[in-house]
Structures are given as C-alpha cells and as structure tokens.
Amino acid sequence: MKELIITNKILNWYDINKRSLPWRKKTSSKKKQYYTLVSEFMLQQTQVATVIPYFNRFIKEIPNLESLANCDNQKLIKLWEGLGYYSRVKNLKKTAQKVIKDFNQNLPDNFLDLKSLPGIGDYTASAILAIAFNKPIIPLDGNVERVLKRYLYLKNENEIEKKNLIKQKTFLGTSARASDYAQALMELGALICKPTNPYCEKCPITKKCKSFIKKDFKLSKFKKKNKEKYFLLKVYKKDNKYLLVKNKNFNFLKNFNIFPMEELIKPKNFEQNLNFKMSNMNMNIKIQNNKIIKPIPFSYWIDPKKLKNYTLPTFTKKIVTYLENYK
C-alpha cells in the first residue's frame, strides 16, 4: 500500500511536469522501440540537453532499424560527431544488424536476448524493457540512484553499493504504467533531486525523505581514480595543413583520425601543453613540432580552415583549435 502511494505521487507529479523530449513522442510501438534504442545509446555518458539535437538529426536521416543496419559508416560517424564515445554508434549499428538477422527485425522484449546485443548492458536492457515494452522494471541510472540515496539516507559504502541499491529500490513499487513510471523516476532525479541544491519544496515525496528530515543532502560516492597517462603529440605541418593518422595504436578513439602520438611511461620533467579527461583516463599531452623525414602510414593532411568538412573526433578538433590559436 505504501509503495502504491509513492508510485501514484511520483506519476501525478510526472504527468504535470515531464519534459517534452523527442523520444517520448506518441508513435507506433515499433517506432517507440527504435526511438528508445537510439536515445538510450546516446544517453550513455551524455546529458539529455546535449542529446536532443543529435537525436532529432539522427532519426531524420536514419528513421528505422533497417536503414541503420545498412547505413554507411562514414555517414553514421558524421551524425554522431561531437557526442564522443564512438564505440556506442558502432555497437548501435551492429545491434540493428543482429536484430534484423537473428530476431526477425523485432527488438527482443526479454533481458537475456537484449543483453546479447552489442553495447547493451544491464542498465540499457532494463531501460529498454521498461520504456519500450512497459515491463515493471525500474532501471537504476544516476538520477534514480540519487533519489534512493537521499530518500533512504544511504551513506556508507555498503549502503551505496550497486547490489544494495538494486535491493532497496523495491520500496518504490511498480505500476501498470511501467514505461511512464521508469521515466518519472529518472525525471524526478534530473529535475528535482539534483546533485546539488535539490528542489525539495517541489518534490512529491519530500514528506518522508530522510535526507530532507535531517537537512543533509550530501551524497556519498565511490571514488573512482582516473589513470594518469602521458603522451607526446607530434605535429607535422606543411602548407598550413596538419597531418593526421588513423589511430591503430590506442584503445581510445580506435580507427579515428588523430595526431600522431606516443605514450610516455612516467616521464621526468614533463612539460604539459594540454589535458583531456577521457573515460577513466587523465591525458597529459606535450606537443612537439616535427618535420617529416619519411612517409607515415595511414596518414593524410587536413586544412584547419575546413574542419567542418572532415569527420573528426572532438579530441582532434580541440587540438587543431589549440594549435591555430597558439601558433
């Protein structure tokens, strides 16, 4: 009964306050499944506001699973350009191909089959089942985790472990409107139970929230340590153009065009020019200007004034911008 009250309160709040997002449009069940698949891949590691224009452009150009499965890789990367984590879009295409080949062109509606698809883990499978298929599942993203931690006042390491959060989320109950309820919980975390300065006065479940009662909204997190990595980035310039290579050496941005780079192991007197955060890596970069002595395999020249004409990762574009500004 308690769960039903919480469920209804959150759904009532959602019905009035939910954002109008392009993947939430009323449409056929087949399109809803496709929209959910694409949006969930895009939303991995990326905020909603950033995803919206990319999603709209992607759906316009690639409106269904069939066109995605057959899409030219260059076009696909261009549509994804700027979102980062490019393995996502490669896996998205592989998933479309596998669904067409192995599942009769229908996105599977069970956990194990969804998990067998490239790029789909526990969370994404749960989100697709809840949102696209109305299964009574609560996907545990960062927003829902925050609501749980605050409402139940979970602070120590054992309490905030993923397996405990999965166990504790049962108090949220379920709903016949499972699709709406999963999105309502995410929305509550995104709009109200924000990481800092939550809007408790607008929260539908604030009355029994332990963090609100104690007036302590600080969140406990597992501290992930980024690996410190050092790279020598080699700049070759000719006729105001820069040389790029197809990345065959590093796991990050595999097969994308980057500047020639060499990883340095614990260098001494390292004079850093640039720093990037990428996945779980803190990249310290030193720039070295070089002259070409012999041909470099898998390389080509780009004109910095025509950056928009090339399919390049944001990482490479930022380095070009830096070089142009500090030449």
Q: Which residue shows structure tokens 């108090």?
A: 171
Active site residues: 40
Q: What angle do CA 307, 310, 312 make, to 5 degrees?
A: 90
How many C-beta atoms lie closer than 10 Å to residue 189's C-beta?
A: 22
pLDDT at 35: 98
Q: In what helix (H) or strand (E) does residue 243 lie, and over which residues does it extend?
A: strand 241-246
Q: Please, which residues have CB within 8 angstroms of residue 215's CB and are 6 or more apart in sequence?
A: none
pLDDT at 8: 95
CB 154 within 8 A of CB 201: no
Q: Partners of 302 in the beta sheet? A: 242
pLDDT at 86: 85
Q: Please, which residues have CB within 8 angstroms of residue 97's CB and are 6 or more apart in sequence?
A: 69
Helix (H, G, I), strand (E, B) or coil at 246: strand
Helix (H, G, I), strand (E, B) or coil at 250: coil
CB 290 within 8 A of CB 235: yes
d(CA 117, CA 96): 9
Question: pTM for the full model?
Answer: 0.76
* % helix, strand, coil for the chain, step of 5: 50, 15, 35
Reported as a single tens digit per residue, the pLDDT across 51-76 is: 999 999 999 999 999 999 999 999 99
CB 114 within 8 A of CB 120: yes
pLDDT at 254: 85
pLDDT at 308: 86
pLDDT at 2: 57
Q: Which residues of the chain have pLDDT under 70?
A: 1-4, 222-224, 327
pLDDT at 3: 59
d(CA 61, CA 56): 9
